[in-house]
Amino acid sequence: MPIVSISQLQMTLTNIAALSAWVFVLGNVSKWRTVMYRFAELLILIGFACLTAAIVARGFEANRFPLANLYESTLWFAWAIMGSYLILVRRLGQNQLGWLAALTATMFFLYGSLLPGNQQQLTPLVPALVSYWRQIHVPPLIISYALFFTAGLASLVELWYAGRLRSLILAVVTIILAITAICLGTYTSIETGWLQLLFVGSSLLGIFFAWQNLPKIAANKINEQKANTYDEISSKAISVGVPLLTFGVITGGLWANHAWGTYWSWDPKESMALVTWLSYAAYIHLRIHHELSAERLSLVSIIGLLLTLLTYLGFNSLGFGGLHSYGRFK
């Protein structure tokens, strides 16, 4: 008898995350705003505690470290998103990021719940994954991805409070199209070439036009203090995420040498992880040297979010292949 039913786990956690997102949203239009926000934060805390218990229970049930397939990685990602909100954002009192964090967790719960049964079931590990390097290499990467997502979400809110509404809309549409490409690649048999074009084309065009529209400002929407706060949140999330990604890349090389006899093979996902690392290294450099405005840095952060999405899920679902691919799901 399983300790945790997968269907019950998904349903409970999805409902908690979705409910907390709605409570955050309704708090914006309610006269009981403070109470609503506290209730929503309590729901996220409950969801985080339940998810922590579920991951631990799954590990005991499987008799191994519970991070060996795409389904389990989505649980870890949602766990890290919730945790980053509770630790990094909540203490700054910025509730607008709460519903975005809860919505992101909900999306990843749903994404995981729709994966084929062989991805959700507890099955014996393939030989390549039977290694102590798995629990050293993979968790820092997943947590860094979640922190980069948190930074990207904070950057979207920063654009709102900076009055860059056109750029914000273009960035949101770009992210939605990128996610759509990944979902179609995961659950349908659409030709991968079209999906790659959708992801890459929409990302390039969307960010280009968002960048071009930054000078267009809605002055009545500007709240400089809150914009600065969300800019700081994005910076803090990236400053924590980059060392974790660095550690993940280094340990990945050590694991690769142990398993395949080479530290670096220019595997597509390895290469994309390096590109993602370089994008955030560029963010840190530009921020330290004050070479870009906060709004342009926000778009750099959103570019990083898209690269993170491509590194984490895109190379599998969009058919780029490589040694790290799970294969397409239909």
Nearest C-alpha neighbor of 313 from the set 303, 324, 302, 304? 324
Nearest C-alpha neighbor of 99 from the set 13, 21, 42, 16? 21
pLDDT in tens, 197-254: 999 999 999 999 999 999 998 877 788 988 998 999 999 999 999 999 999 999 988 8
In terms of residues, how long is the chain? Answer: 330
Residue 158 DSSP code:
H
Structure tokens at 43: 């729901």
**Residue matched to tokens 């709605």:** 22
pLDDT in tens, 251-263: 988 888 877 777 7
Give the 3-state secondary structure percentages of the chain, helix then strand then coil, rounded to 5.
80, 0, 20
Q: Phi/psi of residue 268, each to 5°?
A: -50, -45
Answer whether residue 21 shows pLDDT above 60: yes
pLDDT in tens, 134-158: 888 889 999 999 999 999 999 999 9
Would you place residue 163 in the very low, low, confident or very high pLDDT band (cuts 50, 70, 90)? very high
Is residue 319 left, alpha or beta, with left meaning phi > 0 and alpha meaning psi from -120 to 50? left
Structure tokens at 96: 């607008």
pLDDT in tens, 70-109: 888 988 998 999 888 888 766 666 667 777 888 888 888 8
